[in-house]
């Protein structure tokens, strides 16, 4: 084997060196290899990729058909995989005590009450499907009570905080991104998918694709439209995306990149608390309610399927209750 290796080395170098130089190299390699045994490396088969049980794969496929977002599908898959690996027995033999034991195990590993209840809800969704499709005679999650936790009410940005964050924007992209998030109330994933050609400049409207592939119109105010136009004028790329990276090859700006940028702007603003895209969405919704928009109108603009989701924002808007009182209560 050593001779084969030496011959291969010489063959690789024969176009680069003279015959005399190759002899010197051959002697040097032979000397260096003395005392060593060389064996040919065998190519090992690729490690087996873990495959989720069929019941889970079928459940996730049905969720996809229902239009669940990629993020939701990933969350379901990760939780159910974690549960299966912990369980070490057939999914169809699970009882309520198994669900409780799993949640207790996760709690001991540091999961908070809200996180635990989220895991319970996913397991409940899966076992409801198993029962409804006749794969199991009972739903083990029915006997598992919700995990009680105190929901934190996220406070929107105040008018002063909003202006501080706006003033902290430095680049044209930062200004356009900030104004677009605040003007539309869009989710980050929705902002990522916008192409600038989709914006109707006359109506300042763009139809976006939200959760569950549901389309809805969102609107840009004058500040957002002005910031976007200035940003687009500064670009030299041919990417159709509304927001792109600042360096070649100027790819579409992703979810994580947008979150990092907004976080950096917030830190720079000095308002003393974290700023993130969903806080901009929360602020948008609260401001709409405080200026007289109905829950149904705000729900449509946010792309909520259930009005109860929009009511979360109403809880933080005392001003909206004051407006409703003055508008509808007899003097």
- pLDDT tens for the chain, residues 1 to 331: 567 777 677 667 766 777 777 778 878 877 877 777 777 665 545 444 557 899 999 999 998 888 787 888 999 999 999 999 999 999 999 999 999 999 999 999 999 999 999 999 999 999 999 999 999 999 999 999 999 887 677 789 999 999 999 999 999 999 999 999 999 999 999 999 999 999 999 999 999 988 877 899 999 999 999 999 999 999 999 999 999 999 889 999 999 999 999 999 999 999 999 999 999 999 999 899 888 888 899 999 999 888 887 877 766 556 566 666 666 665 5
Long-range contact set of residues 200-208: C-beta below 8 Å, sequence gap at least 24: 201/225, 208/184
Q: Is 211 a catalytic residue?
A: yes
Structure tokens given for 34: 């003395």
Q: Is 196 a catalytic residue?
A: no
The single residue of 267, 278, 291, 305 carrying the catalytic annotation is: 278
Structure tokens given for 93: 């033999």
d(CA 17, CA 272): 67
d(CA 169, CA 186): 19
The single residue of 106, 119, 281, 282 carrying the catalytic annotation is: 281
Q: Is 187 a catalytic residue?
A: yes
CATH of domain 54-143: 1.10.150.130
Q: Is 120 a catalytic residue?
A: no
Q: Is 281 a catalytic residue?
A: yes
The CA–CA distances, whole Å, from 250 to 196, 237, 239 equal: 15, 7, 7
Classify domain 159-328 at the CATH superfamily level. Intergrase catalytic core (1.10.443.10)
d(CA 120, CA 102): 10
The single residue of 131, 135, 204, 211 carrying the catalytic annotation is: 211
The CA–CA distances, whole Å, from 214 to 67, 211, 217, 277 equal: 8, 6, 10, 20
d(CA 184, CA 180): 6
Helical (H) or strand (E) element with 219: strand 215-219
The single residue of 127, 182, 231, 313 carrying the catalytic annotation is: 313
d(CA 177, CA 244): 11
The single residue of 166, 173, 175, 187 carrying the catalytic annotation is: 187
Q: Residue 219 forms beta bridges with which residues? A: 205
Task: Give yes or no for a contact between 303 and 216, defined as CB atoms under 8 angstroms apart.
Answer: yes
**Phi and psi for 215 in degrees, rounded to 5?**
-90, 145
Whole-number pLDDT of residue 228: 97
């Amino acid at each position: 084997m050593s001779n084969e290796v030496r011959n291969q080395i010489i063959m690789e170098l024969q176009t680069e060196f003279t015959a005399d130089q190759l002899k010197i190299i051959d002697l040097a390699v032979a000397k260096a290899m003395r005392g060593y045994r060389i064996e040919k490396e065998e190519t090992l088969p690729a490690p087996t990729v873990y495959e989720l049980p069929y019941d889970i794969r079928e459940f996730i496929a049905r969720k996809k058909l229902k239009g669940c977002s990629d993020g939701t599908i990933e969350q379901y898959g990760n939780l159910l995989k974690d549960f299966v690996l912990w369980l070490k027995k057939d999914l169809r033999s699970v009882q309520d005590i198994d669900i409780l034991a799993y949640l207790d195990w996760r709690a001991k590993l540091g999961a908070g009450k809200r996180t635990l209840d989220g895991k319970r809800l996913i397991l409940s969704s899966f076992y409801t499907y198993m029962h409804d499709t006749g794969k199991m005679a009972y739903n083990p999650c029915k006997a598992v009570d919700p995990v009680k936790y105190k929901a934190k009410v996220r406070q929107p940005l105040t008018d002063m905080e909003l202006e501080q964050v706006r003033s902290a924007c430095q680049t044209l992209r930062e200004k356009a991104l900030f104004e677009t998030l605040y003007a539309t109330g869009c989710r980050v994933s929705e902002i990522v998918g916008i192409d600038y050609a989709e914006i109707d400049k006359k109506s300042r409207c763009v139809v976006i694709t939200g959760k569950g592939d549901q389309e809805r119109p969102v609107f840009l105010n004058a500040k957002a439209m002005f910031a976007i136009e200035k940003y687009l004028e500064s670009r030299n790329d041919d990417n159709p995306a509304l927001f792109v990276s600042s360096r070649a090859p100027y790819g579409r700006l992703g979810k994580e990149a947008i979150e990092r940028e907004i976080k950096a702007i917030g830190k720079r603003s000095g308002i003393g608390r974290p700023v993130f895209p969903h806080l901009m969405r929360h602020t948008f919704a609260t401001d709409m309610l405080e200026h007289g928009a109905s829950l149904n109108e705000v729900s449509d603009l946010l792309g909520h399927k259930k009005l109860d989701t929009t009511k979360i924002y109403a809880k933080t808007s005392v001003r909206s209750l004051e407006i409703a009182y003055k508008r509808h209560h007899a003097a």
